[in-house]
């Protein structure tokens, strides 16, 4: 049987009655390309109640075709309708499924004020929950101290490896390049005033005190913070967190504490490593630009940079590490079981932790503003 294209024809019978003939294939595959044309053809056929509708020549029919016709009828059957028996169910489906128009929600009266209030509420909620998480971690840490043998040391060492050891390459590369660039730029300026030797002071203080900890923390926040959030989020989606809970295994003790502790230990070490490599990069560049030998550079370093700066940098690393871990875990635990929330949570976690690192760095800079100058 040849299947013809859908067609609408209007004829006038002997007694003057209008008859609308529908023929051909009225299914989704035929209508896909010509729905609009057929809809207007049906509308041109005149009001539904006036004519006799002959649908017996329709070869293929489905819900889509039926709905197209149904809507031009104004959602009720015309008085005179000829229809094949097997096509009856499609109109039956249209009849029973009457679309419910959802009433739009009333508009807010003070949208800006509401948005501000919601923002404040959300931020304070986050802060409160993070404090709770921190408190829980302290309690867990105390229980580890009481029974050190029963605790998740394997997770801790695995996390150290993932967060610390595997980041050695990228932090070295970034640190070295930063050292080179900073040294090159400073050398250009210092040469103008003939203050070549101060390159050691600029690089030493700048890298050990500020750049090393901050750059390293930003890298770790992007690398490990996002990984922690995504992992906890997927564990929420797949109900693994609930599975742990019902076994009586504490989520915070087993998952969050090892990671937080690992970042708090690994990040200061990474800071030392990054600062060291950055200083090497700086020395290389100083050698090329100013003809200062590496021996000269590194023997001048202890005098230019008091030791306390090193401890300041390492301490910052530990503080930033705990911040990153707390923020990553907090956002990971809040993820709802759907993909959208997973994406949003991971993004928020990374952005928040990088912002938090920089804000904390500024605060620490103010607090320690008169410490560590030679």
Take residue 9 and report the two structure tokens written for it.
Answer: 């024809």
SS3 18: strand
CA angle, 90 then 55 then 27, to 5°: 50
Q: Residue 369 interacts with other proteins (CB under 8 A)? A: no
Q: Based on CB atoms, which residue is closest to other proteins, 100 or 366?
A: 100
Phi-psi region of 248 (alpha: psi -120 to 50; beta: other; left: phi over 0): left
Q: Residue 98 interacts with other proteins (CB under 8 A)? A: yes
- The answer to whether the CB of 354 falls within 8 A of the CB of 324 is no
Q: Residue 32 interacts with other proteins (CB under 8 A)? A: yes
Q: How many residues bind other proteins (CB under 8 A)?
A: 28
Applying CB under 8 A, the span of 31-39, 166-174, 252-260, 293-301 interacting with other proteins comes to 31-39
Q: Residue 103 interacts with other proteins (CB under 8 A)? A: no
Distances (CA, A) of 181 to 17, 89, 274, 293, 322: 89, 75, 15, 17, 30
User: Exposed e or buried b for every residue in 318-353, given b needs 16+ CB within 10 A?
Assistant: bbbbbbbbbbbbbbbbbbeeeeeebeebbebbbebb
Q: Residue 339 interacts with other proteins (CB under 8 A)? A: yes
Applying CB under 8 A, the span of 270-278, 292-300, 334-342, 352-360 interacting with other proteins comes to 334-342
Q: Based on CB atoms, which residue is closest to other proteins, 51 or 72?
A: 72
In which order are the strands placed within the sheet that holds 7-12?
7-12, 18-26, 52-61, 80-82
Q: Based on CB atoms, which residue is closest to other proteins, 28 or 173?
A: 28
- The answer to whether the CB of 310 falls within 8 A of the CB of 208 is yes
**Shortest reach from residue 70's CB to other proteins, in Å:** 8
Of residues 242 through 261, those in contact with other proteins by CB under 8 A are none
Take residue 127 and report the two structure tokens written for it.
Answer: 């802060």
Of residues 46 through 65, those in contact with other proteins by CB under 8 A are 62-64
Q: Residue 85 interacts with other proteins (CB under 8 A)? A: no
Applying CB under 8 A, the span of 88-96, 176-184, 204-212, 317-325 interacting with other proteins comes to 88-96
Q: Residue 105 interacts with other proteins (CB under 8 A)? A: no
Return d(Cα 273, Cα 263) in angstroms, integer: 15
Q: Residue 358 interacts with other proteins (CB under 8 A)? A: no
CA angle, 93 then 94 then 97, to 5°: 80
Residue of 20, 22, 25, 27 interacting with other proteins (CB under 8 A)? 27
Beta bridge partners of 215: none
**Shortest reach from residue 337's CB to other proteins, in Å:** 5
SS3 52: strand
Applying CB under 8 A, the span of 21-29, 146-154, 296-304, 353-361 interacting with other proteins comes to 21-29
Beta bridge partners of 82: 54
- The answer to whether the CB of 217 falls within 8 A of the CB of 321 is yes
Q: Residue 234 interacts with other proteins (CB under 8 A)? A: no
**Shortest reach from residue 43's CB to other proteins, in Å:** 14
Q: Based on CB atoms, which residue is closest to other proteins, 236 or 316?
A: 236
Q: Residue 15 interacts with other proteins (CB under 8 A)? A: no
Q: Based on CB atoms, which residue is closest to other proteins, 62 or 196?
A: 62
Which residues of the shown chain bind other proteins in the complex (CB under 8 A)?
27-29, 31-33, 35, 62-64, 67-68, 71, 89, 93-94, 96-100, 102, 336-341
């Amino acid at each position: 049987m040849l299947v013809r294209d859908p067609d609408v024809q209007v004829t006038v019978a002997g007694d003057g009655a209008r008859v609308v003939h529908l023929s051909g294939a009225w299914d989704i595959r035929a209508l896909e390309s010509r729905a609009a044309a057929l809809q207007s053809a049906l509308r041109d056929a005149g009001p539904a109640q006036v004519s006799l509708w002959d649908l017996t020549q329709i070869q293929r029919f489905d819900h889509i075709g039926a709905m197209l016709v149904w809507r031009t009828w104004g959602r009720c059957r015309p008085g005179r309708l000829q229809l094949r028996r097997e096509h009856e169910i499609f109109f039956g489906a249209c009849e029973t499924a009457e679309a419910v128009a959802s009433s739009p929600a009333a508009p807010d009266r003070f949208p800006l004020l509401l948005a501000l209030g919601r923002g404040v509420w959300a931020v304070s909620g986050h802060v409160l929950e993070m404090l709770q998480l921190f408190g829980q971690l302290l309690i867990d840490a105390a229980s580890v101290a009481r029974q050190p043998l029963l605790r998740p040391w394997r997770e801790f060492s695995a996390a150290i490896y993932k967060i610390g050891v595997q980041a050695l390459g990228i932090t070295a590369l970034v640190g070295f390049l930063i050292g080179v660039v900073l040294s090159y730029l400073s050398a250009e300026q210092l040469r103008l005033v003939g203050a070549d030797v101060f390159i050691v002071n600029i690089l030493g203080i700048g890298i050990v005190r500020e750049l090393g900890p901050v750059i390293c923390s930003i890298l770790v926040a992007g690398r490990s913070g996002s990984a922690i959030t995504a992992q906890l989020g997927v564990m929420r989606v797949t109900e693994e967190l609930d599975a742990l809970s019902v076994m009586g295994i504490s989520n915070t003790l087993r998952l969050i504490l090892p990671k937080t502790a690992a970042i708090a230990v690994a990040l200061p070490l990474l800071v030392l490593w990054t600062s060291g490599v950055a200083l090497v990069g700086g020395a290389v560049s100083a050698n090329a630009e100013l003809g200062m030998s590496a021996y000269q550079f590194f023997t001048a370093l202890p005098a230019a940079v008091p030791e306390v700066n090193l401890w300041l940098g390492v301490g910052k690393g530990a503080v930033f590490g705990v911040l990153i871990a707390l923020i990553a875990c907090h956002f990971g635990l809040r993820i709802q079981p759907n993909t959208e929330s997973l994406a949003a949570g991971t993004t928020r976690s990374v952005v928040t932790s990088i912002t938090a690192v920089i804000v904390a760095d500024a605060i620490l800079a103010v607090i320690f503003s008169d410490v560590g100058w030679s």
